[in-house]
Protein backbone atom coordinates (compact mmCIF):
# COMPACT_ATOMS: atom_id res chain seq x y z
CA UNK A 1 0.00 0.00 0.00
CA UNK A 2 1.32 3.45 -0.84
CA UNK A 3 1.33 5.83 2.13
CA UNK A 4 0.05 8.89 0.29
CA UNK A 5 0.65 11.11 3.31
CA UNK A 6 4.41 10.61 3.01
CA UNK A 7 4.42 12.85 -0.05
CA UNK A 8 3.40 15.87 2.03
CA UNK A 9 6.26 17.66 3.89
CA UNK A 10 6.41 16.96 7.61
CA UNK A 11 5.87 20.56 8.68
CA UNK A 12 2.59 20.64 6.73
CA UNK A 13 1.47 17.28 8.15
CA UNK A 14 2.09 18.60 11.67
CA UNK A 15 -0.01 21.75 11.13
CA UNK A 16 -3.39 22.03 12.81
CA UNK A 17 -4.53 24.62 10.27
CA UNK A 18 -6.78 27.62 10.80
CA UNK A 19 -10.08 26.85 12.50
CA UNK A 20 -12.83 29.16 11.17
CA UNK A 21 -15.85 30.03 13.29
CA UNK A 22 -18.79 27.63 12.98
CA UNK A 23 -21.12 28.11 10.00
CA UNK A 24 -24.24 26.21 11.13
CA UNK A 25 -26.80 24.98 8.61
CA UNK A 26 -29.77 25.92 10.76
CA UNK A 27 -31.06 29.37 11.58
CA UNK A 28 -29.34 31.09 14.50
CA UNK A 29 -28.60 34.63 15.56
CA UNK A 30 -25.11 34.41 14.17
CA UNK A 31 -22.68 36.49 16.18
CA UNK A 32 -19.54 34.37 15.99
CA UNK A 33 -17.54 35.57 12.97
CA UNK A 34 -17.89 39.36 13.05
CA UNK A 35 -19.98 39.60 9.91
CA UNK A 36 -22.00 42.75 9.28
CA UNK A 37 -25.66 42.06 10.23
CA UNK A 38 -27.02 44.23 7.41
CA UNK A 39 -27.20 42.54 4.00
CA UNK A 40 -26.47 44.64 0.92
CA UNK A 41 -29.25 47.19 0.32
CA UNK A 42 -31.98 46.64 -2.29
CA UNK A 43 -30.73 49.42 -4.54
CA UNK A 44 -27.40 47.62 -4.88
CA UNK A 45 -29.07 44.24 -5.38
CA UNK A 46 -31.03 45.74 -8.30
CA UNK A 47 -27.82 47.04 -9.88
CA UNK A 48 -26.18 43.65 -9.28
CA UNK A 49 -29.10 41.89 -11.01
CA UNK A 50 -28.63 44.15 -14.04
CA UNK A 51 -24.96 43.28 -14.07
CA UNK A 52 -25.72 39.54 -13.86
CA UNK A 53 -28.00 39.93 -16.90
CA UNK A 54 -25.03 41.20 -18.92
CA UNK A 55 -23.90 37.57 -18.65
CA UNK A 56 -20.17 38.03 -19.15
CA UNK A 57 -19.06 35.25 -16.83
CA UNK A 58 -17.52 33.28 -19.71
CA UNK A 59 -14.76 35.91 -19.82
CA UNK A 60 -11.77 36.24 -17.50
CA UNK A 61 -11.85 39.14 -15.05
CA UNK A 62 -9.42 42.07 -15.22
CA UNK A 63 -6.20 40.50 -13.82
CA UNK A 64 -5.18 43.86 -12.34
CA UNK A 65 -8.49 44.80 -10.67
CA UNK A 66 -7.72 48.23 -12.12
CA UNK A 67 -11.00 50.01 -11.31
CA UNK A 68 -11.01 48.85 -7.69
CA UNK A 69 -7.41 49.95 -7.25
CA UNK A 70 -8.13 53.35 -8.81
CA UNK A 71 -11.15 53.88 -6.57
CA UNK A 72 -9.26 52.95 -3.40
CA UNK A 73 -6.29 55.07 -4.49
CA UNK A 74 -8.60 58.06 -4.82
CA UNK A 75 -10.10 57.49 -1.37
CA UNK A 76 -6.69 57.21 0.31
CA UNK A 77 -4.90 59.82 -1.85
CA UNK A 78 -2.51 57.26 -3.32
CA UNK A 79 -1.60 55.94 -6.76
CA UNK A 80 -3.05 52.66 -7.96
CA UNK A 81 0.54 51.33 -7.89
CA UNK A 82 0.32 51.54 -4.07
CA UNK A 83 -2.60 49.12 -3.98
CA UNK A 84 -2.97 45.35 -4.07
CA UNK A 85 -6.40 43.72 -4.12
CA UNK A 86 -6.92 40.35 -2.43
CA UNK A 87 -9.51 37.59 -2.32
CA UNK A 88 -10.40 38.67 1.21
CA UNK A 89 -7.74 40.21 3.41
CA UNK A 90 -6.78 36.63 4.30
CA UNK A 91 -5.28 36.38 0.82
CA UNK A 92 -3.50 39.71 1.34
CA UNK A 93 -1.94 38.30 4.51
CA UNK A 94 -0.90 35.15 2.70
CA UNK A 95 0.65 37.13 -0.18
CA UNK A 96 2.57 39.45 2.15
CA UNK A 97 3.87 36.52 4.20
CA UNK A 98 4.95 34.61 1.09
CA UNK A 99 6.46 37.76 -0.41
CA UNK A 100 8.52 38.58 2.65
CA UNK A 101 9.39 35.43 4.46
CA UNK A 102 11.53 32.36 3.97
CA UNK A 103 12.14 29.29 6.11
CA UNK A 104 13.86 30.23 9.39
CA UNK A 105 12.82 33.91 9.29
CA UNK A 106 10.95 35.46 12.21
CA UNK A 107 7.76 37.46 12.48
CA UNK A 108 6.52 39.40 15.48
CA UNK A 109 2.83 39.36 16.43
CA UNK A 110 0.71 40.25 19.44
CA UNK A 111 -0.77 37.52 21.66
CA UNK A 112 -3.69 37.21 21.50
CA UNK A 113 -4.45 38.51 18.04
CA UNK A 114 -5.75 37.01 14.77
CA UNK A 115 -5.07 33.27 14.86
CA UNK A 116 -4.39 33.00 11.11
CA UNK A 117 -0.93 34.63 11.40
CA UNK A 118 0.78 31.68 13.15
CA UNK A 119 -0.86 29.27 10.70
CA UNK A 120 0.55 31.16 7.70
CA UNK A 121 3.94 31.31 9.44
CA UNK A 122 3.94 27.57 10.16
CA UNK A 123 3.24 26.73 6.53
CA UNK A 124 6.34 28.74 5.58
CA UNK A 125 8.46 27.35 8.46
CA UNK A 126 8.77 30.84 9.85
CA UNK A 127 9.29 31.38 13.61
CA UNK A 128 6.73 33.43 15.50
CA UNK A 129 7.73 35.87 18.24
CA UNK A 130 4.52 36.44 20.25
CA UNK A 131 4.44 39.52 22.43
CA UNK A 132 1.86 39.09 25.22
CA UNK A 133 -0.65 41.84 25.84
CA UNK A 134 -0.73 43.44 29.30
CA UNK A 135 -3.14 41.98 31.85
CA UNK A 136 -5.69 44.66 30.84
CA UNK A 137 -5.35 43.47 27.20
CA UNK A 138 -3.67 46.68 26.01
CA UNK A 139 -0.44 46.55 24.00
CA UNK A 140 2.84 46.87 25.87
CA UNK A 141 4.63 49.18 23.43
CA UNK A 142 7.97 48.95 25.24
CA UNK A 143 7.82 45.17 25.17
CA UNK A 144 7.04 45.12 21.43
CA UNK A 145 9.98 47.45 20.76
CA UNK A 146 12.24 45.40 23.03
CA UNK A 147 11.34 42.14 21.24
CA UNK A 148 11.68 43.77 17.83
CA UNK A 149 15.20 45.01 18.64
CA UNK A 150 16.22 41.73 20.25
CA UNK A 151 14.92 39.31 17.61
CA UNK A 152 15.06 41.52 14.48
CA UNK A 153 11.98 39.92 12.87
CA UNK A 154 11.56 40.32 9.10
CA UNK A 155 8.00 41.54 9.65
CA UNK A 156 5.84 42.96 12.45
CA UNK A 157 2.12 42.25 12.14
CA UNK A 158 -0.02 44.48 14.33
CA UNK A 159 -3.80 44.09 14.39
CA UNK A 160 -5.41 47.44 15.02
CA UNK A 161 -8.00 47.50 16.48
CA UNK A 162 -6.97 44.16 17.89
CA UNK A 163 -9.02 40.97 17.74
CA UNK A 164 -10.43 39.33 19.77
CA UNK A 165 -10.05 42.14 22.34
CA UNK A 166 -11.55 45.00 20.30
CA UNK A 167 -9.07 47.47 21.82
CA UNK A 168 -7.48 50.04 19.48
CA UNK A 169 -4.11 51.73 19.57
CA UNK A 170 -3.97 55.34 18.45
CA UNK A 171 -2.39 56.37 15.16
CA UNK A 172 0.41 57.99 17.15
CA UNK A 173 1.14 54.76 18.98
CA UNK A 174 1.34 52.81 15.71
CA UNK A 175 3.63 55.41 14.14
CA UNK A 176 5.74 55.45 17.31
CA UNK A 177 6.18 51.66 17.04
CA UNK A 178 7.20 52.05 13.40
CA UNK A 179 9.67 54.83 14.13
CA UNK A 180 11.23 53.00 17.05
CA UNK A 181 11.62 49.65 15.30
CA UNK A 182 12.32 50.78 11.71
CA UNK A 183 11.22 47.33 10.50
CA UNK A 184 8.64 46.32 7.89
CA UNK A 185 5.29 46.55 9.64
CA UNK A 186 1.88 45.38 8.45
CA UNK A 187 -1.09 46.89 10.26
CA UNK A 188 -4.19 44.73 9.87
CA UNK A 189 -7.08 47.21 9.97
CA UNK A 190 -9.92 44.73 9.34
CA UNK A 191 -12.07 46.50 11.99
CA UNK A 192 -10.79 50.07 11.73
CA UNK A 193 -14.04 51.55 10.37
CA UNK A 194 -15.83 50.93 13.68
CA UNK A 195 -13.94 53.62 15.58
CA UNK A 196 -10.21 53.06 15.12
CA UNK A 197 -7.68 55.49 13.64
CA UNK A 198 -6.38 54.41 10.23
CA UNK A 199 -2.78 54.65 9.04
CA UNK A 200 -3.76 53.93 5.40
CA UNK A 201 -2.71 57.48 4.49
CA UNK A 202 0.77 57.05 5.91
CA UNK A 203 1.31 53.50 4.61
CA UNK A 204 3.86 53.26 1.81
CA UNK A 205 4.51 57.02 1.74
CA UNK A 206 7.97 58.58 1.52
CA UNK A 207 8.06 59.08 5.29
CA UNK A 208 6.84 55.53 6.03
CA UNK A 209 8.20 53.33 3.23
CA UNK A 210 8.23 50.13 5.32
CA UNK A 211 4.70 50.61 6.65
CA UNK A 212 1.80 48.62 5.13
CA UNK A 213 -1.90 48.55 5.96
CA UNK A 214 -4.59 46.09 4.92
CA UNK A 215 -8.34 45.98 5.38
CA UNK A 216 -11.42 44.18 4.14
CA UNK A 217 -14.89 44.54 2.67
CA UNK A 218 -16.05 41.70 4.96
CA UNK A 219 -16.97 43.75 8.04
CA UNK A 220 -17.69 47.41 7.32
CA UNK A 221 -18.99 46.79 3.80
CA UNK A 222 -21.33 43.83 4.40
CA UNK A 223 -19.48 41.58 1.99
CA UNK A 224 -17.81 38.68 3.81
CA UNK A 225 -19.18 36.31 1.18
CA UNK A 226 -17.71 38.26 -1.74
CA UNK A 227 -14.11 37.89 -0.50
CA UNK A 228 -12.44 41.24 -1.06
CA UNK A 229 -9.60 42.97 0.75
CA UNK A 230 -6.83 45.45 -0.02
CA UNK A 231 -3.31 46.39 0.92
CA UNK A 232 -1.59 49.77 0.76
CA UNK A 233 2.20 49.67 0.58
CA UNK A 234 5.11 51.17 -1.33
CA UNK A 235 4.88 50.46 -5.09
CA UNK A 236 8.11 48.45 -5.18
CA UNK A 237 6.71 45.86 -2.80
CA UNK A 238 3.30 45.84 -4.52
CA UNK A 239 5.06 44.97 -7.80
CA UNK A 240 6.79 42.02 -6.15
CA UNK A 241 3.58 40.83 -4.47
CA UNK A 242 1.82 40.98 -7.85
CA UNK A 243 4.11 38.22 -9.11
CA UNK A 244 3.09 35.71 -6.45
CA UNK A 245 -0.68 36.16 -6.41
CA UNK A 246 -3.03 34.24 -8.70
CA UNK A 247 -3.18 36.28 -11.87
CA UNK A 248 -7.00 36.34 -11.80
CA UNK A 249 -7.35 36.44 -8.03
CA UNK A 250 -10.53 38.55 -7.94
CA UNK A 251 -13.45 37.12 -9.90
CA UNK A 252 -15.50 39.22 -12.29
CA UNK A 253 -18.55 39.35 -9.99
CA UNK A 254 -16.64 40.41 -6.89
CA UNK A 255 -14.75 43.10 -8.79
CA UNK A 256 -17.99 44.59 -10.09
CA UNK A 257 -19.87 44.50 -6.78
CA UNK A 258 -16.80 45.86 -4.97
CA UNK A 259 -16.77 48.83 -7.36
CA UNK A 260 -20.47 49.47 -6.70
CA UNK A 261 -19.88 49.33 -2.95
CA UNK A 262 -17.06 51.88 -3.10
CA UNK A 263 -19.45 54.24 -4.91
CA UNK A 264 -21.76 54.06 -1.86
CA UNK A 265 -19.18 54.84 0.83
CA UNK A 266 -21.60 57.20 2.65
CA UNK A 267 -24.39 54.61 2.81
CA UNK A 268 -22.09 52.06 4.43
CA UNK A 269 -20.76 54.63 6.86
CA UNK A 270 -24.25 55.40 8.11
CA UNK A 271 -24.79 51.66 8.74
CA UNK A 272 -21.46 51.54 10.58
CA UNK A 273 -22.72 54.33 12.86
CA UNK A 274 -25.77 52.23 13.70
CA UNK A 275 -23.56 49.28 14.64
CA UNK A 276 -21.42 51.54 16.83
CA UNK A 277 -24.54 52.85 18.61
CA UNK A 278 -25.84 49.32 19.15
CA UNK A 279 -22.43 48.29 20.49
CA UNK A 280 -22.39 51.08 23.06
CA UNK A 281 -25.98 50.26 24.10
CA UNK A 282 -25.11 46.58 24.48
CA UNK A 283 -21.96 47.31 26.53
CA UNK A 284 -24.05 49.44 28.94
CA UNK A 285 -26.67 46.70 29.28
CA UNK A 286 -23.96 44.11 30.00
CA UNK A 287 -22.53 46.45 32.62
CA UNK A 288 -25.91 46.46 34.40
CA UNK A 289 -25.54 42.66 34.64
CA UNK A 290 -22.04 43.03 36.13
CA UNK A 291 -20.27 41.81 33.02
CA UNK A 292 -16.73 43.09 32.46
CA UNK A 293 -16.40 44.26 28.85
CA UNK A 294 -13.29 45.66 27.19
CA UNK A 295 -13.69 49.03 25.42
CA UNK A 296 -14.35 48.16 21.78
CA UNK A 297 -13.53 50.03 18.58
CA UNK A 298 -14.78 47.12 16.47
CA UNK A 299 -18.04 45.41 15.51
CA UNK A 300 -17.72 42.96 18.41
CA UNK A 301 -17.29 43.00 22.17
CA UNK A 302 -15.03 40.87 24.34
CA UNK A 303 -16.88 40.34 27.56
CA UNK A 304 -16.59 38.33 30.74
CA UNK A 305 -19.63 37.22 32.80
CA UNK A 306 -19.61 37.81 36.58
CA UNK A 307 -18.84 34.13 37.31
CA UNK A 308 -16.14 34.18 34.58
CA UNK A 309 -17.56 30.95 33.19
CA UNK A 310 -17.78 31.96 29.56
CA UNK A 311 -18.06 28.40 28.27
CA UNK A 312 -21.23 27.81 30.26
CA UNK A 313 -22.75 31.00 28.88
CA UNK A 314 -21.68 30.06 25.35
CA UNK A 315 -23.44 26.70 25.66
CA UNK A 316 -26.58 28.19 27.18
CA UNK A 317 -26.84 30.80 24.45
CA UNK A 318 -26.44 28.11 21.80
CA UNK A 319 -29.45 26.26 23.22
CA UNK A 320 -31.35 29.52 22.52
CA UNK A 321 -30.03 29.54 18.94
CA UNK A 322 -27.58 32.35 19.62
CA UNK A 323 -24.08 31.58 18.33
CA UNK A 324 -21.16 33.58 19.75
CA UNK A 325 -17.41 32.78 19.92
CA UNK A 326 -15.62 31.09 22.81
CA UNK A 327 -11.85 30.68 22.83
CA UNK A 328 -10.67 27.96 25.23
CA UNK A 329 -7.31 29.77 25.63
CA UNK A 330 -9.12 32.77 27.16
CA UNK A 331 -11.81 30.94 29.18
CA UNK A 332 -13.24 33.92 31.07
CA UNK A 333 -14.34 35.82 27.94
CA UNK A 334 -16.77 35.53 25.05
CA UNK A 335 -16.47 37.43 21.79
CA UNK A 336 -19.88 38.60 20.65
CA UNK A 337 -20.35 40.20 17.23
CA UNK A 338 -22.65 43.22 17.23
CA UNK A 339 -25.78 42.39 15.25
CA UNK A 340 -28.81 44.57 14.57
CA UNK A 341 -30.42 46.36 17.53
CA UNK A 342 -33.26 43.80 17.40
CA UNK A 343 -30.85 40.88 17.53
CA UNK A 344 -28.90 42.39 20.42
CA UNK A 345 -32.13 42.97 22.36
CA UNK A 346 -32.85 39.24 22.06
CA UNK A 347 -29.30 38.40 23.12
CA UNK A 348 -29.56 40.74 26.09
CA UNK A 349 -32.91 39.22 27.14
CA UNK A 350 -31.41 35.72 27.09
CA UNK A 351 -28.29 36.78 29.00
CA UNK A 352 -30.54 38.58 31.49
CA UNK A 353 -32.53 35.39 32.08
CA UNK A 354 -29.34 33.40 32.63
CA UNK A 355 -27.61 35.94 34.87
CA UNK A 356 -30.30 37.50 37.04
Per CB under 6 A, residues contacting ligand PMP are: 88-90, 114, 159, 163, 188, 190, 216, 218, 224, 229
**Cis peptide upstream of residue 262 (ω within 30 degrees of 0):** no
Give least dist CB 168 to ligand PMP, A: 12
* Angle subtended at Cα 342 by Cα 340 and Cα 343, rounded to the nearest 5 degrees: 65
H helix or E strand, kind and range, residue 197:
none
Nearer to ligand PMP, 88 or 195 (CB): 88
Q: Which is nearer to ligand PMP, 123 or 224 (CB)?
A: 224
256 vs 50, 84, 252, 262, CA distance in Å? 11, 16, 6, 10
C-beta closer to ligand PMP: residue 164 or 285: 164
Residue 321 CA, chain-centre distance (Å), reads 25
User: Taking the complex as a whole, how short is the minimal distance between the CB of residue 228 and ligand PMP, in angstroms?
Assistant: 7
**Contacts (Cβ under 8 Å, ≥6 apart) of 334:** 302, 303, 304, 305, 310, 313, 314, 324, 325, 326
The string of DSSP letters for 262-276 reads HHTHHHHHHHHHHHH
In contact, 160 and 174? CB cutoff 8 Å: yes
Beta carbon of residue 16, minimum distance to ligand PMP (angstroms, whole number): 17
Nearer to ligand PMP, 223 or 285 (CB): 223
Nearest residue (CB) to ligand PMP, 188 versus 350: 188
Instruction: Give the nearer residue to ligand PMP in terms of CB position, either 226 or 351.
Output: 226
Using CA atoms, how far apart are residues 141 and 254, in angstroms rounded to an integer? 38
**Shortest Cβ distance from residue 201 to ligand PMP (Å)?**
20
Give the nearest distance from C-beta 233 to ligand PMP in angstroms.
16
Determine how many CB atoms are found less than 10 A away from the CB of residue 27: 7
Which of residues 85 and 351 has its CB atom nearest to ligand PMP in the complex?
85
What is the DSSP secondary-structure string of 9-77?
A: -HHHHT-----PPP--SS--EE-SS---SSPPPHHHHHHHHHHHHH--TTSPPPTT-HHHHHHHHHHTT
- Phi first, then psi, for residue 215 (nearest 5°) are -155, -175
> Which helix (H) or strand (E) element contains residue 179?
helix 171-181
User: What is the nearest approach in angstroms of ligand PMP to the Cβ of residue 226?
Assistant: 9
Nearer to ligand PMP, 285 or 333 (CB): 333
Using CA atoms, how far apart are residues 71 and 259, in angstroms rounded to an integer? 8
How near is the Cβ of 103 to ligand PMP at its closest, in Å?
Answer: 24
CB 40 within 8 A of CB 229: no
CB atoms within 10 A of CB 31: 26
Q: How far is the CB of 167 from ligand PMP (least distance, A)?
A: 13
Beta carbon nearer to ligand PMP, 119 or 344: 119
CB of 332 to ligand PMP, least distance (A): 20
User: Would you call the peptide bond into 112 cis, given omega within 30 degrees of 0 as the criterion?
Assistant: yes
Amino acid sequence: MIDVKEYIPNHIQKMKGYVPGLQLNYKVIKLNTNENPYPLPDFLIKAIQDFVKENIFHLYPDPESKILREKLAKIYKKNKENILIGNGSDEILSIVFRGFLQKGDRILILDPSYSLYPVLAEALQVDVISVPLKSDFTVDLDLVIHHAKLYQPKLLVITNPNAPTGIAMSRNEILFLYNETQLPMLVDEAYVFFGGETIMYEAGSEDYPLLMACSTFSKAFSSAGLRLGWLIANPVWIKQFDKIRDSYNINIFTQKVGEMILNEWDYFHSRIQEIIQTREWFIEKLKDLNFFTLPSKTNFVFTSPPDQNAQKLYEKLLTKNILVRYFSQIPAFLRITIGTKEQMEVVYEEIYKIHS
